[in-house]
Amino acid sequence: MPGPLENLPRFRFDNGDGPTYDVEWPDRISPLGGAVDALSYRGGRGGTAATFFSGGYRVLYLGFPFETIRRPGLRARLMRDAVRALVR
């Protein structure tokens, strides 16, 4: 099954000059127990930004604050893709 966030374009978090707050240390996470890498960081130290599990239940876990995605349309798209993946 393709990852639910695989078609998202690159995006940036707020660096403190936008409407929310500076995301200095987004979490790098590791998929475990059958979860898969759903989104990766580019730049910085890289790593996994989100994981997705689909078994008897579904979980999408983000390693960064959703509200700090700078582009409103992209926030809406990520949420739409997440909900679609979770309710299948």
Amino acid 2: pLDDT: 59
Dig out the tokens for 62 from the structure.
Answer: 């983000």
pLDDT exceeds 80 at position 1: no
Give the DSSP H/E element, type plus range, for residue 52.
strand 48-54
Single pTM value for the model: 0.88
Q: Could you give the CA distance from residue 75 to residue 56 in angstroms, rounded to a whole number? A: 27
Other Cβ atoms within 10 Å of 42 Cβ, number: 8
Does residue 80 come out as left (phi exceeding 0), alpha (psi in the -120 to 50 range) or beta?
alpha
| 79 vs 46: which has the higher pLDDT | 79
pLDDT exceeds 90 at position 88: no
pLDDT exceeds 80 at position 3: no
Dig out the tokens for 19 from the structure.
Answer: 């409407």
pLDDT tens digits, 5-47: 988 999 988 888 988 999 888 999 999 999 999 999 988 788 9
